[in-house]
Amino acid sequence: MEKRFETKLIHSIKKGNQPIRSKVTPIYQTSAFTFDSLEDLEGYYQGEGNYLYSRTGNPNPDELGQMVAAIEGAPAGISTSSGISAILAGVLAVVKSGDHIVAADDVYGGTFHLLKEELHQLGIETTFVSFDDLLSVEKAIQSNTKLLYTESITNPLLRVENLSAVVELAKKYNVMTLVDNTFATPFHCNPYEMGVDIVIHSATKYIGGHSDVTSGVVVGSYELVAKARAKVVNLGANVSPFEAWLTARGLKTLALRMKTQSLNARKLAEALRDNQNVAKVYYPFQEDQAGYGAMVTIELSKIVDVSQFFTSLSWVKIVPTLAGIETTVSHPLKTSHRALPPEARVALGITNELVRISVGIEHPDDIISVFEQAIEGSLK
């Protein structure tokens, strides 16, 4: 029977036939697994067993990867130690030294650094262009281009990517696509079902949902996930059993959280759009969008003291991350995008006045009130 999204979240893993019938998957908090004999051990290497050493495989990380793959509509998935390690594993499943990547210029700052600096040292070059102009993307494709990289909803400016057009362009030039679906989540968008080859998540964010884990996930075809898995194993980018267990537990409430947080975010964006002391609101207001997401980014007007604004937010915490159940704020210029060259920040609009808001599950009127009061109390 075909299951709907909310049901998949809870029942994406088949009922087990373990001797002890635990309702919830136990935490396999072990560094290694035991064998009854040398023949039994050899059987593992011949493909007859699943687990040897937790860096190479463990039931909890495997379950997390399978759960996210199921709700993304992908055949396979693997979990990793963080979002950035998921990106690295996904990219290295496709490219090698001498290859070229075309990436959106408005991606997360940590991704920008990884692609521009770290992979450059491995002999992999990246060209950053605006994916708003697919003609520019097409012109950037070279004979050694192997991958187009973008985000379904970009961080922090919340541009909604035209994934169908990106996939069509990639197929035209026989290159692969990788999409970071962290902001949209599978609740709002399923890039794999739209033809994207690899989808990654910083599961630290909405997948886990409670700001108490650091993990990542890569999903895609069996072949590509197997290649990503090899990178995770050989580079030591595996997630611990306990972190994977916590992330999987949080994932089960994704639909409940995203419904409330996305509705709250839209109400906040609409309220701040009408505030004369907010110069701009970044939020996908289009009515034809299947979902809006739970992030709102604003640019304060020049008459607002930015430092005072951040200290006037009462119960709203200042944090360098996002997606917990409580509303938080960050300052992209000084956190997520501080690694970008100044000229790149200016071109994108990453200014001192830019504020990224991760909207939580509190009452929407309270969320709106705390921001309006902070803005009013910070006028110069």
Which CATH number is 254-376 given?
3.90.1150.10
Q: Cite the DSSP H helix spans in 183-240.
A: 185-188, 222-235
> Residue 335: pLDDT band by 50, 70, 90 thresholds?
confident
Q: How many other C-beta atoms are found inside a 10 Å radius of the C-beta of residue 254? A: 22
Q: What is the pLDDT of residue 55?
A: 96
Query: What's residue 137's pLDDT?
Result: 98
Residue 253, amino acid: T
Section 186-208 average pLDDT? 97
DSSP 193: G
Average pLDDT over the chain reads 94
pLDDT in tens, 169-188: 999 999 999 999 999 999 99
CB 80 within 8 A of CB 218: yes
Is residue 291 pLDDT above 60, yes or no?
no
What is the per-residue DSSP string for 10-59? Answer: HHSSPPP--SS--SSPPP---SB---SSHHHHHHHHTTS-S-SBTTT--H
- Report the pLDDT averaged over residues 306-310: 97
Q: b/e per residue, 307-342, with b = 16+ CB within 10 A? A: eebbebbeebeeeebbbbbebbbbbbbebbbeebee
Please give the model's pTM, rounded to 2 decimal places.
Answer: 0.94
d(CA 307, CA 378): 8
The number of C-alpha atoms within 13 Å of 67 and in the hemisphere containing its C-beta is 30
The first and second tokens of residue 78, run together, are 């693997």
pLDDT tens digits, residue range 63-75?
A: 999 999 999 999 9
Check residues 99 and 337 and name the one with the higher pLDDT.
99
Strand partners for 231 = none
Distance CA 299, CA 189 (A): 26
- Calculate the alpha carbon distances from 352 to 274, 298, 299, 322 in Å: 21, 11, 9, 19
The CA distance from 89 to 83, in Å, is 10
Specify the pLDDT at position 18. Answer: 67
DSSP output for 98-152: T-EEEEETTS-HHHHHIIIIIHHHTT-EEEEE-TT-HHHHHHH--TTEEEEEEES
Sequence-distant (≥ 6) Cβ neighbours of residue 184 within 8 angstroms: 152, 153, 291, 293
CB 271 within 8 A of CB 366: no
Q: Tokens 């290497």 appear where?
A: 45
Q: Is 162 in a helix, a strand, or coil? A: coil
Cβ-contact 73, 51 below 8 angstroms: no
CB atoms within 10 A of CB 179: 26
Residue of 251, 263, 147, 262 whose CA lies nearest to 204: 251
Query: In a 10 Å sphere around its CB, with 0-12 CB exposed, 13-18 middle and 19+ buried, how is residue 346 labelled?
Result: exposed
Question: What is the model's pLDDT at position 86?
Answer: 98
Residue 234 tokens, joined = 């050989």
Q: For 63-118, how does the pLDDT look when each residue is reduced to its tens digit (9 = 90+)?
A: 999 999 999 999 999 999 999 999 999 999 999 999 999 999 999 999 999 999 99
The pLDDT of 337-352, averaged and rounded, is: 86
Q: CB 1: neighbour CB atoms within 10 A?
A: 3
The first and second tokens of residue 370, run together, are: 């705390």
CA angle 191, 338, 206 (to 5 degrees): 35
pLDDT band per the 50, 70, 90 thresholds, residue 13: confident
Report domain extents, the chain. 5-251, 254-376
Q: CATH number of 5-251: 3.40.640.10, 1.10.150.20, 3.30.450.70, 3.40.50.300?
A: 3.40.640.10
Least confident of 135-139, 298-302, 336-340: 336-340
Which of the four pLDDT bands, split at 50, 70 and 90, describes residue 310? very high
Say what the pLDDT of residue 298 is: 97
The residue written with tokens 């994207």 in the block is: 196
